[in-house]
Amino acid sequence: MRRPDIVADYLDTLVHELSFDAPLSRRVRMEVEDHLWEAAANAPGDATEAQRRAIVRFGDPREIARQYAALSVLGQIRRVAMIVIVVLAGIFLSMKGRGAWYSLMQWGLSEQTRFVGAIGVSVTRYAFMLALVIGLAGCAYIGARRTPLRLHREYCKQIKRSTMFCTLAACALLTSVAVDMILTVLHLLETRYAAAALIPILSAAVEMALLGILFLNIRLAIQRTDFVSSFLHS
């Protein structure tokens, strides 16, 4: 049986408003569709009119989309905050493991590069500590946010601040990893153990992959935040 256009149009509008989050839009469409047909089936009178009344009672699809969008963007930001902590832990273990491998293999820096290495170690350590502090502060701030009943400007500002915390932590971590990569190259240039060099190379690759995942999720969070903020101007 072909469904009336009034229901399809309503659902299409709702899905379009939630297009920034495809899984959410599909889930909401199924839930809303089931609710509308159930409400229309239990209403007396003409079927088309019953569906129209069910839609009116359910509410404006754009307003409903705003409520779901507020929940969606906060969930995305919280996932990014957790990824920040996981990436911090992963890179910390990778760096410590690489340092232990250097000690085991007795791979020290030469007199010519030792001074540069000392500076690099300090930069790496302090940049990582900065990333950790910002990341923990961001998690605390994001964890204290609550989804509002109605999307408003202050909530969008809070979400943007949350994204900023994650971005700053990622940038500090990128600095730490970049400097540590330079130190890794210096160590590898001074060793002749080609096979043993695979260990620090693989650990460095893991760190870059973790950073890539983090920045990708931050990018998605920023895009989602901008999309949700645009609801206030529509």
Q: What is the pLDDT along the chain (234 residues), one digit of tens a residue?
A: 444 567 778 888 888 877 777 788 888 888 888 887 787 777 676 777 777 887 888 778 777 877 787 788 888 899 999 999 999 999 999 999 988 888 887 777 777 777 888 888 899 999 999 999 999 999 999 999 888 777 788 888 899 999 999 999 999 999 999 999 988 888 777 776 667 788 888 999 999 999 999 999 999 889 888 877 776 665
pLDDT of res. 152: 80
Domain assignment of residue 181, given as a range: 70-233
pLDDT of res. 61: 78
Is residue 100 in a domain?
yes
Both tokens of 173, joined, read: 């971590």
Residues 124 and 97 in one domain: yes
Residues 46 and 157 in one domain: no
Residues 127 and 205 in one domain: yes
DSSP state of 179: H
Q: What is the pTM of this model?
A: 0.79
- Comparing CA positions, the residue from 29, 22, 28 lying closest to residue 7 is 29
Provide the number of structural domains found in the chain: 2
Report the distance separating Cα 181 and Cα 121, nearest Å: 11
Identify the burial level of 181 via C-beta atoms within 10 angstroms of its C-beta, where 0-12 means exposed, 13-18 middle and 19 or more buried.
middle
pLDDT of res. 55: 82
Contacts (Cβ under 8 Å, ≥6 apart) of 32: 11, 14, 58, 64
pLDDT of res. 2: 43
Is residue 226 in a domain?
yes
Residues 109 and 205 in one domain: yes
pLDDT of res. 64: 80
Residues 179 and 152 in one domain: yes
Residues 74 and 155 in one domain: yes
